[in-house]
Amino acid sequence: MGGGNSMSKTDPDATFMRIKEDHMGNGQLKPGYNLQASTNNQFIANYTLAQTTADTTTLIQHTEDFIKGYNQTPDAGYGSDENYSYLEKKQIEAFVKYNYFHKEKLDEKRGTNKKPFAANKLYYNNGTDTYYCPMENIGSYERTTAAGYKQTIERHQAKNCQGCQLRTLCHKAKGNRIVEHNHKLIRLKPRKNYLAQKE
């Protein structure tokens, strides 16, 4: 099955993917491909087919194919630590959104953010490596993505949640709150998304 966990008898190269819902609201698993296209003035300049369901895992292969064909870099992609790092290494100034970009902007506009103490809302002091509501670094671990890319995840823990009047709004854990962050991704996101905010 070429390293995959499924195979179509009618198209062995295809991957089973959840196809968007039909007019009856039914989502179905069907064999298919993940198509990525680069455009210039609304003309398709380049395309690649991938055997993976996630768009974020297609950027590097698609960009390399574009560079090979045109000897220059495209300016779009998908937001992930691996992709942001790749684009930075290649010195590509990209127009890249992360998964929840539009939802976050809409929530901000409507004032409907129901998690004011979400991890991305806490203030991070780079000099002391701490988060506020005062949190301290309690270690880190390495995580490997399905594509084999290694990410470092830092862990911070609040010093004293007991008796805090805002605790029920912040978290439901029994002990002190722990927040996990990928600092490399946090550093790269604002640099790659400033163009997206102008949309």
Angle (CA) 66-39-191 rounded to 5° is 75
Q: Work out the mean pLDDT of the chain and round it to a whole number.
A: 79
The pTM (predicted TM-score) of the whole model is 0.48
Q: How far apart are CA 17 and CA 52, in angstroms?
A: 8
Asked if pLDDT for residue 49 goes beyond 80, the answer is yes
pLDDT at 192 over 70: no
Lateral strand order in the sheet of 150-158: 123-125, 130-132, 135-144, 150-158, 178-181
- Is the pLDDT at 196 greater than 70, yes or no? no
24 CA to centre of own chain: 30
Query: What percent of the chain has a predicted confidence (pLDDT) above 90?
Result: 12
Kindly indicate the confidence band of residue 138, based on its pLDDT and cuts at 50, 70 and 90. Answer: very high
98, 127 Cβ separation under 8 angstroms: no
Asked which of 16-20, 45-49, 80-84, 193-197 is least confident by mean pLDDT, the reply is 193-197
Under the banding of pLDDT at 50, 70 and 90, the label for residue 78 is: low
Q: What digits encode the pLDDT tens for the residues 94-125?
A: 666 666 677 777 777 776 666 667 777 777 88
DSSP characters for 86-99?
HHHHTT---EEE-T
